Structure 1
Amino acid sequence: RGSARGGFPPIAAASRGRCVHRLSAALHPFASGTMGRGGIDSAKVAPDSTRASKFQGLDSAADEAARTAAGSPANTLGPVTVLEHITYGLENRIAANPNYPFLLLIANTTVVIGAAGAGWHLLANRVSDAEVFGFDSWWDGVYLAAHLVMTGGPDTDTPADTYLRYIYSFLVLFGLIVFAIVVGFITAGIEAGLEAVGSGRTKVAETGHTLILGWNEATLRAVVQIAFLRRQYQMGNERRTLGVLYFFPRLLPLFKLLMIVDPPSTSVAASNIVIMTDQHDKNEMHEMLESVLAERGINPRRTRIGRDIICRVGSPTDVSDLLRVGAHRAAAILVMMSEKDQVEEDESEGTIQNGATLRTSLALRYVIFTNPYATKNGRAMPHPDLRIVLQMSHPSDYVDAACFAHADGRQVIFPVDLSKFSNSLMFNCAAQPGLSAILLDMLDFEGMAIRRRKAKNIRSGPFNAMGACVGQTFGEMRKQFSAAAFIGIVRPGMDEEEALEKGFGLCPDMNVKIQREDLLIFVGPRPTPRCSMRMSSAFAGYVEEAAKLMKAHPDIEANRAKHGLTNSKRKRTLLVCGWRPVWQQYPARLGGRIKEITSQRLPGSAIIFVNKVPDEAFAKLMAAIGASKKGAGSYDVAGGVAIKHVVGDAAQTAVLKPVMDENQIDGCIVLGTQANFRLAGKYRDTRVLNVILLLRKLCQDKANAPPMHVVGENTEDLTAKLALAPHRSGFAKLVSGERRLEFEPDFVNNMAVNARALVQTLAYPHIESARSELFDERETSGGLINVDAREYVPLNVSMKFGVVRTIVLRAVGERSMCLGVVWGSGAVELLPKHDSTVRFTDDDRLVLLRKVVKP
């Protein structure tokens, strides 16, 4: 698989997690409930004392901002005047269409000529002593006006006297000079105005918009993900209006009033996008955006640069610039200041981390409370849908001190540490080939993605009515949808532990009764799932067929009951080339990554780390995670898996060759980062290519080398295409009497991961209590895994995929859902059609959301 997919985020900072409910092994929690205003599909939550104690309340934050701003005059950049609204509209139209000034001039000239001609005709009718041209015809009046504009005046009255002709000619010439001067003044003014428009420093007259602050390698990808959300929402509305909105999008407010179209699942899908940075000028941003949107097939009719994507130049840490882009009126804000963070970290020799990001978040606090969106009982109130997502360059123990909540207890600021997610993704991919592709597909808004809808805004039932699922059980509701798989339910305001006890979250209890404000989580291609009542009868047939198959193969259930969750574990040796510096600061993260490997390995397996971390420092890390030392550079962890450490550069043959010769390496994780040395993105990619090429050479030279599954990381798309992984013969090999499948190398594209992760958080920040379960290490959480197909279904038997989903769902002792298949050929398929026929062999694996149920 050449390109990696994006992901969804861990919330950041806080490996300590004071600003959030709980920080899972890889994904952060988000606050329960979702906010909403107008028709947006969102959730309200009641104030929660437990939640409020973890971050600052709205009143307290507003009081603090008021004390800070005491004595300072009000910033005049906050309000937007009528003239600024007009100027903003003109600027956006000129940015979207360079020919707009000429069209505007033609339109204005036409209006003036028509109005003046009509006025001439009306006045000419009142002249009684002589006939005036145009008195008897409207068109004559218009013609005269046009003639005057084009020629400067008629020539039928030119005097015959010579001296009068001199004066007449002088006056005509003088008039031309005056006209030229006036034209010069006008031209200079127009040029100055156009220059101001091109500079990107004018005020933004938007409300409820999505604001991106800063610029890094993931920004363009983030805009693309938002464009996908917008496109899906628009296409859904176009289907409901029989295509009318495609040609006449300005009719959307009317259709909303008539309740013909559905509300968006998130404000991000319906709002304009404003980007502000001081790293590029406006034209550069337009050129880059135009290229990437065209490359990803975004139709300008749906998302146009200059109209729907507005670019501004300014500093995200400057209060005046934030006011200029309407930060205090925005509904969603994404802070992408990682490149500035890196500059400050380098200049301070590592003593300042996340500096620009934290400064931007503090500036946003100040702007929001000193220029409030609204006031209630004399209190400053931010936009009711406001959420601020911070892309953190490093974990932070104190970012939560800047977090605050809405008046109803909903969290506003979400710090996101993406390094934790990308690391977890790589290790899970090494432990379970194909799993990362499924997960990242689920988090990519272009296709099958994790989405959520409020129960009252989902159409279902025989009349396809909104809210028809309210009062039904979760199990009854999910049978009505063909293309979407419902995987979870969140009840806003419910404590996380209480939710797990009552069967909420991922893989919920099928008997949970749905309430109006519940958030239903599903995987599907559209933000609004399509209901089909015929699915209920089809599902009944699948249940009947599943019962027959299980009755004919009782050994499957018996074998799973006997061996529990160990059936799909393997005995393997994994090589890890490179190092994450964050592991030395937070050893628990290294322990989490090791556990992701050991959970899928049998005793006798090994993990070999090759890096430049000194033995003494590595030994301290092993002690911190509870590994016992059994020799020089050798340790044991739970589950009988050995950990070995080799000091050296994995890109050097002298270091890596002895490791390859002395061990049967089945898989390798190649990291672009090293200990005590920092490389830019392009050079990290080059290092990854070098290490993979060295692995190819060493595997080629070693006799009877087992198939090696390589997992690498990249920041540029081309890297995955250039990489030359160890040779693959195209068929399974027998190694020590065991069949070993050959897998294509997996690449985790960090920039794609970051973009998709951040936009997922921005769009649906308040269903974390369920989403955080995806990588939760507890068996009682709904984790994403892949298992041998033989654990659940009979092999070499043709059946519908709907039958497979039913068999998995009825498994005893667990609540599991089948989301896809990793075929023996290495191909990955997410949510095949329920009526498609499948036939499994010994090499095929099922991708499940599995939650173990306590007896």
Structure 2
Amino acid sequence: MAQRRVPFGERARYWFDSTLARGTSALFGWMALLCLGIVVPASAVLVWTDPHAPASLPDRLARVWRLTGQTLRLGDATGTPLRMAMSLLLALVALLYVSTLVGLITTALTERLTALRRGRSTVLEHGHAVVLGWSEQVFTVVGELVAANANQPRAAVAVLADRDKTAMEEAFAAKVGPLGRTRLICRSGPTTDPDVLALAGPATAGVVLVLPHDDPDADAEVVKTLLALRRALAGAERRPPVVAAVRDDRYRLAASLAAGPDGVVLESDTVTARMIVQAARRPGLSLVHQELLDFAGEEFYLVAEASLAGRPFGDALLSYRTSSVVGVVRGDVPLLNPPTRMPLAPEDLLVVLTRDDDTAHPEDCAALVEEAAMASGPPTPARAERHLVLGWNRRAPLIVDQLHRCGPPGSTVDVMADTAGSAARQTIGADAHEEARSVPALHQGDITRPETLHRLDVHSYDSVIVLGQDPVPGQPPDDPDNRTLVTLLLLRRLEEATGRRLPIVTELIDDRNRALVPLGDGADVIISGKVIGLLMAQISQNRHLAAVFEQLLSADGPRVRLRPAGDYVLPGCDTTFATVVAAARRRGECALGYRTRRGSSRAPGNGLRINPDKAERRRWTADDEVVVVGED
């Protein structure tokens, strides 16, 4: 077979590519030929078209040489060959020196920019917040810190995580949005290395927050980070307060020891389980918790009020028109909803729910109380409750345990989990040995299949709790939420088929999936990571609030509750909120808001009104609820 004739163009390109492959010398030669091939002819055209050009050919060639040398910054001297050679040599040396200097400067700048891009420079800030670690909670924490610093002229948040700096900045830009006056500084490196921790400037920070990671060894990593922080701060004049979170209570003591006496360590699983249980027992309570934890609305502050010293605590409840008092801090111990006759000491700090730290102005509201509108009957008696838990994860044993401990006598809990829920059987088996409790019933089945849910009479339960599975290594992070959303769709179909609303409490992992939940706007949806992020952000602003929230979210004792409004004021009566506060005081409770059933499904407030003006009047109905801090 005849050999194909290779076109000249392909052969020329192949020869050109082969010469370039020889290295820098070949590239330099081609660049020189290219420049000379353009500059020399152009210079010759300029000389030959110049009316003042020399007449003789040697003089014209000398002129062409000068133009070429000036253009290429080469020697332009004329005369003997030796003189021209020396001029060219000096020009090449100068060119080599300048190009080398430019190369060194460019390399140094590139390395510096690369180092900055890697996030390896030390943060030189004072009073800033340092966030150590990376998880879904980091966006909630940073977002809340930005909201808390909205009125601060110079605020900064430094985030140190073992991730690429540019990737972190892009993630914050997408999920947190505008930062206002707050400067966000990202640094890259392992949080367990004391030398790397120094990059975030913890010695001059106002607070340090240590986030749990998403891997199975998250708690051990938190303890190791706290030890590294302790080492990095060795010898420092001051130690900033530390706020950390662990998932398992077995690591809390070790983390507390590593965090130091001023540190606060939270148990994320316990807090999440308590909020799920409280929302299951009283639908809508998760909305109250959300309002109290974020910085968008009312916040808790500690206020010193000398004018109330010596007076009973009950008088303080009606001493602020636009703020709500829920307790006192005596020493370092918070007393929420103390006895109304307890006298206030001069050094006591009031725990006040108000819009900002400068909005708690004392004003006597006793004249706004209308005694005739108060309800005088006994409170609504508690009845036995039935709860259904769909799914199983590491928080489920805590939820089942608290449902038993907090529920009225005769309450029951049923669990529907798939065949992988061996932990559910072990937990329920352990509960069987406690004679004081009823044994939860375990049903095995896939909660993402319609026939599984049809076997249950879901409308006979007072609450349905939907839990996602624990993330599995190598599994997509959205997979637990995906299964939860499928289950919610099936429950929504049951609601539409029967025309009856189900009291559903949903736990999600990713806050972005909240908008996809096929339930009403007022549904109880608890984002496990976001809850602990909000709590850490609140405590980072005032560590004394840790004990306050510990009581408010506790399994027993004084905590936030939703009570029927008919227990406080007469249904159909038009009266002030001060009357509700006075009625709650009479029952030994602190009222801090209300929720209307009529607006419970309408965003953005969902009928919830926290810390209303004491002079606000409205017509109260039997379906309204009052938000109080009280005991069972």
TM-score bracket for this pair, using the shorter chain length: 0.7 to 0.9
1:607 aligns with 2:426: no
* Aligned match of 2:223: 358
Native 8 Å contact 1:474 1:509 kept in 2: yes
Alpha-carbon deviations, 1:319-357, whole Å to 9, x = none? 211123233443321112422x42xx4xxxxxxx62211
Native 8 Å contact 2:187 2:199 kept in 1: no
> Post-superposition shift, 1:397?
5.0
Native 8 Å contact 1:227 1:298 kept in 2: yes
Alpha-carbon deviations, 1:532-555, whole Å to 9, x = none? 6xx32xx13213xx22434xxxxx
The residue correspondences of 1:780-799 to structure 2 (distance < 5 A) are: 781-799=557-575
1:805 aligns with 2:581: yes
Native 8 Å contact 2:481 2:508 kept in 1: yes
Radius of gyration: which is bigger? 2
> Post-superposition shift, 1:609?
1.4
Select which of 443, 459, 472 maps to 1:646.
443
Alpha-carbon deviations, 1:785-829, whole Å to 9, x = none? 1111111101111112233223322x14x2432432243442222
Select which of 842, 847, 851 maps to 2:622.
842
Native 8 Å contact 1:201 1:313 kept in 2: yes
SS at match of 1:354: helix
Q: Distance in 1 between matches of 2:488 and 2:591?
A: 36
Q: Distance in 1 between matches of 2:435 and 2:264?
A: 31
> Post-superposition shift, 1:276?
0.8
Q: Which moved more, 1:472-481 or 1:320-329?
A: 472-481
* Aligned match of 2:160: 276
Superposition RMSD on alpha carbons, in Å?
A: 3.6
Q: Distance in 2 between matches of 1:769 and 1:508?
A: 19
SS at match of 1:291: helix
Native 8 Å contact 1:611 1:675 kept in 2: no
The residue correspondences of 1:483-632 to structure 2 (distance < 5 A) are: 483-493=322-332, 504-507=335-338, 509=340, 511-516=342-347, 518-531=348-361, 535-536=363-364, 539-543=365-369, 546-550=370-374, 556-557=375-376, 559-560=377-378, 564=379, 567=380, 569=382, 573-582=386-395, 590-596=400-406, 598-599=407-408, 606-612=412-418, 613=421, 617-623=426-432, 626-628=435-437
Native 8 Å contact 1:816 1:851 kept in 2: no
Select which of 438, 443, 457 maps to 1:660.
457
1:775 aligns with 2:553: yes
Native 8 Å contact 1:338 1:393 kept in 2: no
Count residues with an aligned counterpart.
Answer: 544
* Aligned match of 2:148: 229
Q: Which amino acid letter does the alignment assign opposite residue 224 of structure 2?
A: R
Native 8 Å contact 1:389 1:758 kept in 2: yes
SS at match of 1:847: strand
Q: 1:470 to 1:625 in 2, by over 3 A?
A: same
* Aligned match of 1:745: 523
Gaps of 5+ in 2: 1-76, 601-606
* Aligned match of 2:211: 336
Alpha-carbon deviations, 1:130-175, whole Å to 9, x = none? xxxxxxxxxxxxxxxxxxxxxxxxxxxxxxx988x99999989976
1:316 aligns with 2:188: no
Q: 1:616 to 1:323 in 2, by over 3 A?
A: closer
Q: Which moved more, 1:836-845 or 1:166-175?
A: 166-175
Q: 1:405 to 1:424 in 2, by over 3 A?
A: closer
Native 8 Å contact 1:709 1:744 kept in 2: no
* Aligned match of 2:15: none
Q: Which amino acid letter does the alignment assign opposite residue 231 of structure 2?
A: Y
Q: 1:678 to 1:363 in 2, by over 3 A?
A: same
Q: 1:290 to 1:514 in 2, by over 3 A?
A: farther
1:691 aligns with 2:487: yes
Q: Distance in 1 between matches of 2:372 and 2:474?
A: 59
Select which of 236, 239, 246 maps to 1:373.
236
Alpha-carbon deviations, 1:95-116, whole Å to 9, x = none? xxxxxxxxxxxxxxxxxxxxxx
Q: Distance in 1 between matches of 2:326 and 2:522?
A: 29
* Aligned match of 1:441: 291
Native 8 Å contact 2:243 2:265 kept in 1: yes
* Aligned match of 1:84: none
Q: 1:469 to 1:435 in 2, by over 3 A?
A: same
SS at match of 1:416: strand
SS at match of 2:101: helix
TM-score (norm 1): 0.58
> Post-superposition shift, 1:655?
2.9
SS at match of 1:360: helix
Q: Distance in 1 between matches of 2:281 and 2:516?
A: 24
TM-score (norm 2): 0.76
Q: Distance in 1 between matches of 2:319 and 2:251?
A: 45
* Aligned match of 2:282: 432
* Aligned match of 2:25: none
Q: Percent identity?
A: 22
Question: Higher RCO, 1 or 2 (CA under 8 Å, sep at least 6)?
Answer: 1
Alpha-carbon deviations, 1:40-71, whole Å to 9, x = none? xxxxxxxxxxxxxxxxxxxxxxxxxxxxxxxx
Q: 1:750 to 1:397 in 2, by over 3 A?
A: closer
